[in-house]
Structure 1
Amino acid sequence: MKTSHTLASAAVAALMVLAAGCTGGQSASTNGQTDKQDGHTAKANPEPVKLTLQPVGAGYLYEEDFQMMVAEPLKKKYPHITVEYVMPSKGTMIEDLVAAKTVPDILLYGIGNYTQYRDLGILTDITPTLTKMKIDTSRFKPWVLDNIKVDGKLYSLPYAMNTNAIYYNLDLFDKFGVAYPKDGMSWDDIIEVTKRLSRTDNGTAYKGFMYLNSYWVGYQLSLPFTDAAKKKSAINSDGWSRVFQMMKTIDTIPGNERGSPVADFYDKRILAMVGAYNLVPTLKQDKYQTLRWDVAGYPSFKEKPNIAPPVDLHQVTISNSTKHPEEAMLVVDLLTSEEVQLISARRTGRASPLANKKIEQELGAEMPLIKGKNVTSFFASQPAPNVVFANEDIAVQKSIDKFYKDYSSGSIDVNVLMQKIEEDANQAISVIKSK
């Protein structure tokens, strides 16, 4: 999954068992000694510490969410730590801050930003700090940390996931008497439903299904865009050939010709289903409150049932230049604690990377927009393993966008498509390598 984007109720609230290392209040020692609490070593009468935090984009942590998920919990648990929110904008983009040697203490970013942050030289393996501070990472889903490790090193902890699902328009299914999509459907199933929903009625052309972009399905099989060792396109493969052929099957269903997934689903309301990551932040807008929608599990390949595209794991870490690594890590630990993750799930609709099923069930519990929705469908499939993102991947994606329409229109066959993508992308990659 690439740049971020974007992207998942039972009553549990105050009775939830809080994560070890993340929940207790800080006690002061009267004899000047330190004491163990929640797995951390709490200093008596700690000196005030001021830190800075920056998300790679506002959508990773809106300022109002920062207050709810960082500032307010800190006041209760670690009142000696205050954090300033730094919005990325002209003059305060991460590259600007690196140049000015004012890198924030805490960084929030997505999988697609890893190589940028790595190349800026601001990341550090946080494993030694986690070990030193006895921070328990067993609270995360088993596959989550493996998906963000690079060469066995852990540079961050995840605090949110853009889960994948089918969003569907209830009115269109009702209008045409078609059963709602359900969890566990295969791509073949979706293609058959799409055929039934792609039709013209009273002069309006309705479409059945669209995936989000022209390489989205490739994520699902964890297909690489580039050969990391050779720094060349890896698109000319049996796996990508299969993906392109399936995409064409969907896009050439009569009446389902590809348009704009966003405009057709949200605004025109002529698209019955869209396969996407978390659309809740968009659906929160007032103009979409009359759209009757629900969700079902993302479709999968038959040989890999219930495997969805990789999730965009939103990550939080400490910079390697912070002067307060332990205090910064306390903030990271608090943001990823069960206590704060419950707040996040209930109030912001962010899917949690933690293994706690009760947090999954509470997704959107305090959001009228999500009330009554099939929130368990956000977690119906296990994400495919992530492919480590490389800067060169963008060149391949642009080449796919450039030539795919020639293939879907029938102008070229799939072998010529992959050849054109490979040649075009390799030229672009050679320019990147020369810089």
Structure 2
Amino acid sequence: MRINGRIPSLGIILSLAVLSAACSTTAPAAKGGTNAADGGKDLEPANLVVYSGSGDSPESWNERFGNPLKEKFPQYNIKYIQKQSNLGIKELLTSGETIDIYWDSIGGFASAVLDNGLEFDMTELMKKYNVDFSRMEKTVADSVKQISPDKIYGIPVFNNNMVLYYNKDLFDKFGVPYPKDGMTWNEAIQLGEKLTRSDGKQYVGLSSSQTHMLLMNQLSIPFIDQAKGTPNIFSNEKWRDYFNTVFVGPAKAPGYKEYMKAHKDAIPYRNEFLKDKDLAMFAWLSSIIFVFPEDFSAMNWDVVSLPTFDSLPGVGSQAYPTYFSVTSMSKQRDQAMKVIQYLISDEMQEKLSKKGVMPVSNSDAIKKVYGQESAFKDKNLKSAFYNKFAPIPYKSQYDNLLLTPYAKAVPPVILNGDYNTTFRSTEEDTAKKLADAKK
């Protein structure tokens, strides 16, 4: 259901009781395999097409999902189609291809499914196959109702959040103690000041991926004012507090702004951390080590929990779940649902967790094995679970339209200190884009 082009808010309608009733919380956990309720349909041959807006490679798909699914369901022929520059979802649908399972992260899922008519209410299938949302991390389970308050269009399969990576060699070089789990932003900023220094080469202590930090912000600020349906970077004062702590705070160290000016007015990012190795600490996605494994293998690093706000002790970033859905066009919905049922089973969640794919399960035993079979099992990967997840706020299908402009506001605010002018112009510009998109 969509209201005035917006996705209804979780806070308006959702209660745990409603969610639990919709998802049969009293039923046993899904374990995969044959279910008597389906009449043995999982034993029937099926040709299933899987597509994602993520752009994940076939190798990545097979490593995480394809190979385990082939082993579990040898009678299914599961074809994964990778998104490419000339093969987006619209091109795929125009070609006449049928998509049985669509998956994507919270940032792109709603717009892809709703805008292309792929939404299918999976409530009855979830009851039929005993899918139990109460066994998932709560904010992740709750987030499903943001897409529709009374229908279930996607099921969370894996998760993501933000952590703080650090270059141990730089800390050793300057004799500075390593970061620790449980630091506040003020403590991390003070630590970063000690690393923002020069020995003929300028080093910077602390930075972050601004797009991810904004999307998963700890203050749970929405990108759009839900009541008005308009951008809010200027009108919501929380954005000023957030920018001041996360982005401006680290840049107050002497030499930081000069470093930015020498790097096209950009804040230190991926290459400065992984390639140039002149950034000591970088807040980034917990899963990113598996996206750039060779780069991380080539440096001496470790990881701790994301620093927290003094006003929100123990609260980390928002979760960033990825949903899998049975589409409206699928003719093999039972078989597609069996696939998703298995992906969220304890068996598969444990396999994913061991590989370093953050599970959605709230089982401590499954979280405990996180990353144990990955190339980085000797790192402090458990830090990803150190903080509580921040509540996920109202998410609009237009958030991605606002993300880049909001992120582009970071450098001028740091360099010029003029929040009002930067935020006001950003809000005005994005309001026009949003109005055009709604038309």
TM-score surpassing 0.5?
yes
After superposition, residues 390-409 of structure 1 pair within 5 angstroms as 390-409=396-415
- What is aligned with 1:12? none
Distance 1:169 1:321, change over 3 A: same
Matched with 2:194 is 196
Shift of 1:399: 3.2
2:350 aligns to what SS in structure 1?
A: helix
CA deviation map 1:37-65 (0-9, x unaligned): xxx54428943211111122233xx4234
* Residues 413 and 321 of structure 1, relative CA distance in 2, 3 Å threshold: same
Moved more, 218-227 or 171-180: 218-227
Quick check: 2:32–2:338 contact (8 Å CA) kept in 1?
Answer: no
Report the counterpart of residue 338 of structure 1 in structure 2: 346
Counterpart secondary structure, 1:309: strand
2:41/2:335 contact within 8 Å kept: no
Deviation at 1:69, TM superposition (A): 4.4
Whichever residue aligns with residue 244 of structure 1, its letter is: F
Q: CA deviation at 1:270?
A: 0.8
Per the TM alignment, residue 237 of structure 1 is displaced from its structure 2 partner at its CA by: 1.9
The question of 1:295 aligning with 2:293 is answered no
Q: 2:361 aligns with which of 339, 354, 362?
A: 354
Question: How far did residue 430 of structure 1 move?
Answer: 2.6
Counterpart residue identity of residue 145, structure 1: A
3-state SS in 2 of match to 1:432:
helix
47, 52, 72: which one aligns with 2:49 = 52
Distance of aligned partners of 1:187 and 1:80 in 2 relative to their CA distance in 1, 3 Å threshold:
same
CA distance in structure 1 between the partners assigned to 2:47 and 2:140 by the alignment? 30
Q: Which amino acid in 1 is paired with 2:204? A: K
| Residue in structure 1 matching 2:420, options 399, 415, 427 | 415
Query: Structure 2 counterpart of 1:139, which letter?
Result: R
Per-residue CA deviations over 1:404-425 (Å, capped at 9, x if unaligned) read 4333222x63223322222222
Show the 5 A alignment for 1:256-405: 256-257=256-257, 258=260, 259-277=267-285, 278-285=287-294, 287-347=295-355, 349-368=356-375, 370-405=376-411
Question: Is the 8 Å Cα contact of residues 88 and 94 (structure 1) preserved in structure 2?
Answer: yes
TM-score, normalization: structure 2?
0.83
How much identity, in percent, do the aligned residues show?
27
Contact kept, 8 Å, 1:166 with 1:276, in 2: the verdict is: yes
Which structure features the higher share of helix residues? 2
Query: C-alpha displacement at 1:190, in angstroms?
Result: 1.0
1:133 to 129, 134, 138: 129
- 2:11 matched to which residue of 1? none
- For residue 164 of structure 1, what is the aligned residue in structure 2? 162
Match of 1:79 among 32, 56, 74: 74
Q: 1:210 aligns with which of 195, 207, 211?
A: 207
Q: How does 1:57-72 map to 2 (within 5 A)?
A: 57-59=54-56, 62-72=57-67
Give the Å deviation of 1:223: 0.8
Give secondary structure in 2 for the equivalent of 1:205: coil
1:154 to 1:162, Cα distance in 2 relative to 1, 3 A:
same
Query: Hey, what does 2:174 align to over in structure 1?
Result: 176
Secondary structure of 1:158's counterpart equals strand
Equivalent AA in structure 2 for residue 133 of structure 1: Y
Distance 2:79 2:212 in 1: 38
Q: In structure 2, do the counterparts of structure 1 residues 375 and 42 end up closer, same or farther at CA, with 3 Å as the change threshold?
A: farther
Question: Greater CA deviation, 252-261 or 154-163?
Answer: 252-261
Give the corresponding residue for 2:94: 99
Residue 297 of structure 1 deviates from its aligned partner by: 0.5
- Aligned CA distance change for structure 1 residues 408 and 73 (closer, same or farther; 3 Å): closer
2:438 and 2:255 map into 1 onto residues whose CA distance is 43
Q: Residues 363 and 253 of structure 1: is their aligned pair in 2 closer, same or farther, counting only changes over 3 Å?
A: same
Aligned counterparts of 2:344 and 2:225: Cα–Cα separation in 1: 33
CA deviation after TM superposition for structure 1 residue 403, in Å: 4.2
3-state SS in 2 of match to 1:220: coil
Give me the whole-angstrom Cα distance separating, in 1, the residues matched to 2:153 and 2:61.
21
How far apart are the structure 2 equivalents of 1:110 and 1:214? 14
Partner of 1:432: 437
Q: Number of aligned residue pairs: give it.
A: 397
- Whether 1:143 aligns to 2:139 is yes
Partners of 1:399 and 1:248 lie apart in 2 by 17
Contact 1:109 1:315 in 2 (8 A): yes
TM-score normalised by structure 1 residue count: 0.84
Q: Distance in 2 between matches of 1:227 and 1:181?
A: 36
1:96 to 1:256, Cα distance in 2 relative to 1, 3 A: same
Sort the Cα spacing of 1:87 and 1:404 in 2 relative to 1 into closer, same or farther, 3 A.
closer
Query: What is the SS of the residue equivalent to 1:316?
Result: strand
Structure 1 241/75 Cα, relative in aligned 2: closer, same or farther at 3 Å? closer
Name the counterpart of 1:242: 241
Q: CA contact under 8 A between 1:403 and 1:420: conserved in structure 2?
A: no
The answer to which of 425-434 and 297-306 deviates more is 425-434
Q: Deviations over 1:371-406 (max 9, x none)?
A: 211121011112212234324434433333444433
**CA RMSD of the aligned region, Å?**
2.4
Q: Is the 8 A contact 1:222 1:384 kept in 2?
A: yes
* Letter aligned with residue 223 of structure 2: F
- Summarize deviations over 1:350-385 as a string: whole Å, max 9, x none: 1111112232222222223x1211121011112212
Q: Classify the secondary structure of the residue corresponding to 2:318.
A: coil
1:93 partner amino acid: G
Deviation at 1:291, TM superposition (A): 0.4
Q: Deviations over 1:219-240 (max 9, x none)?
A: 2111122123433111222211
Give unmatched runs, 5+ long, in structure 2: 1-27, 261-266
Secondary structure in 2 matching 1:167: strand
